[in-house]
Amino acid sequence: MAAGTHICIVGATGYAGQELLRLLTVHPHVGRVSTAASRQGPDAIPADADWAILATPAETSAELAWPLVQRGVRVLDLAGAHRAGEAQAHLEAYGFAHPHPQALSAAVYGFDADPADLAAARLIANPGCYANALLSALVPLQLAGLVAPGAVVDATGISGVSGAGRAATERTMYMNVAENLAPYRTGRSHQHLVEVERRCEVRLLFVPLVAPLKRGMLVSGSVDVGRWLQAQTAQTLAIALPPLSLPGDSLWQQLDQAPDVLAVAHRPQAQVHYFLDAVAGRVLFVSAIDNLMRGAASHAIFNLNRACGWPAEAGLVPENTHE
């Protein structure tokens, strides 16, 4: 796609939408950035828009995306409306029937999709923030052959308050967040489970927590690698992890020590640390991202770049640390 691309952001007043607007207005290959209010429906998107990026609630994205695709606009959805893959899984994860179920099978899931698939996609489902942090740790292990289908992943996630969105709620009030750490959507109720389990074919046990942070996300956990350990010929306690990578993702970083949220604040990277506990037969991991960047806006632009054939890091400036 040539320079001068017109991108319309729907939901630009939210936290993720504001990050998108900031990044896209200085993107070297984007010619025009416009905004639209979701309440006005698909007709609010300008007729000459090449892309619509939806930073809207899942119900809104589900209503908007497919009519836009039918109109010839390419869509990148930051909400969860198109991550589940099929109608029943979507209903169980998000609690509402998808109004355009054909969009679920048509959407390309954009965590580590092949650039050719992204280039051909009319609808891209950006991964959720917790899913991004978890998959940044799990996919490299899976690609290296350590994680067998059906392996149990036990993880705890901590997110800043901005992960709940800009709308004020009792849960995000200062008196409930300050000096507190509170679980929410535990068990099977968190909507991001469906995309992690779909991508990696694992069984995820997950406890998310809200912390008194403006932004940031840290996930720690472990995954069963017992089958891989049994297949090794060396002595169990001498086994080391093989080289790990996330092919095609230059913003993925493996660290020798556990990361923290300040190191990735306002940055597009995912930082991951691993430790093999051969006695327990598990790999422990710690994954840190900025929930508004890698967990939303910057990963969306990373997918946009690959879909358009631009350099993968175009418009993503790691040294930008402005509050």
Catalytically annotated residue among 8, 129, 200, 308? 129
User: Do 112 and 133 belong to one domain?
Assistant: no
Residue 312 falls inside a structural domain? no
Residue linked to tokens 């609690």? 95
92's CB contacts (< 8 A; 6+ apart) are: 194
Residue 129 falls in the annotated catalytic set = yes
User: Do 287 and 216 belong to one domain?
Assistant: yes
129's CB contacts (< 8 A; 6+ apart) are: 159, 163, 192, 217, 289, 291, 294, 295, 296
Render 162-192 in DSSP notation, one character per residue.
GGG-SS--GGGSHHHHTT--EE-S-TT--TT
Q: Determine the residue type at 164.
A: A
Q: Report pLDDT for 202.
A: 96
User: Do 212 and 139 belong to one domain?
Assistant: yes
First-to-last alpha carbon distance for the chain, in angstroms, is 32
Are 21 and 30 in contact by the 8 Å Cβ rule? The answer is no
The Cα–Cα gap between 203 and 187 comes to 12
b vs e for 110-136, b when ≥16 Cβ sit within 10 Å of the residue's Cβ? bbbbeeeebeebbbbbbbbbbbbbbbb
Q: pLDDT for 181-234, tens place per residue? A: 888 888 888 999 999 999 999 999 999 999 988 899 999 999 999 989 888 855
The Cα–Cα gap between 38 and 57 comes to 10
Select the more confidently predicted residue: 319 or 34.
Answer: 34
Q: Report pLDDT for 185.
A: 81
User: Do 38 and 58 belong to one domain?
Assistant: yes
Are 79 and 131 in contact by the 8 Å Cβ rule? The answer is no
Q: pLDDT for 260-270, tens place per residue? A: 999 999 999 99
User: Do 287 and 189 belong to one domain?
Assistant: yes
CA dist 207 to 182, 189, 289, Å? 10, 10, 17
Q: Report pLDDT for 160.
A: 86
Q: Where residue 47 sits, what CATH number does that domain have?
A: 3.40.50.720
Are 137 and 218 in contact by the 8 Å Cβ rule? The answer is no
Are 308 and 248 in contact by the 8 Å Cβ rule? The answer is no
User: Do 72 and 118 belong to one domain?
Assistant: yes
Residue 71 falls inside a structural domain? yes
Count of domains for the chain = 2
73's CB contacts (< 8 A; 6+ apart) are: 45, 49, 50, 51, 52
Please write down the HEC assignment for all residues of 91-151: HHHHCCCCCCCHHHHHCEECCCCCHHHHHHCCEEECCCHHHHHHHHHHHHHHHCCCCCCCC
Residue 315 falls inside a structural domain? no
**Rounded mean pLDDT of 7-26?**
95
Task: Write down which residue in 102, 126, 150 finishes a domain.
Answer: 126
User: Do 159 and 283 belong to one domain?
Assistant: yes
User: Do 207 and 111 belong to one domain?
Assistant: no
Per DSSP bridges, beta strands 74-77 and 123-125 are parallel
User: Do 171 and 282 belong to one domain?
Assistant: yes
Q: Give the pLDDT band (50/70/90) at residue 49.
A: very high
Return mean pLDDT, the chain.
Answer: 91
Tokens of 73: 């606009």
pLDDT of 323 above 50: no
Domain extent, residue 78, equals 5-126
pLDDT of 155 above 50: yes
Task: Write down which residue in 126, 153, 176 finishes a domain.
Answer: 126
Q: Where residue 143 sits, what CATH number does that domain have?
A: 3.30.360.10
Tokens of 251: 């913003």
Q: pTM score, two decimals?
A: 0.92
DSSP 8-state secondary structure symbol assigned to residue 56: S
pLDDT of 118 above 50: yes
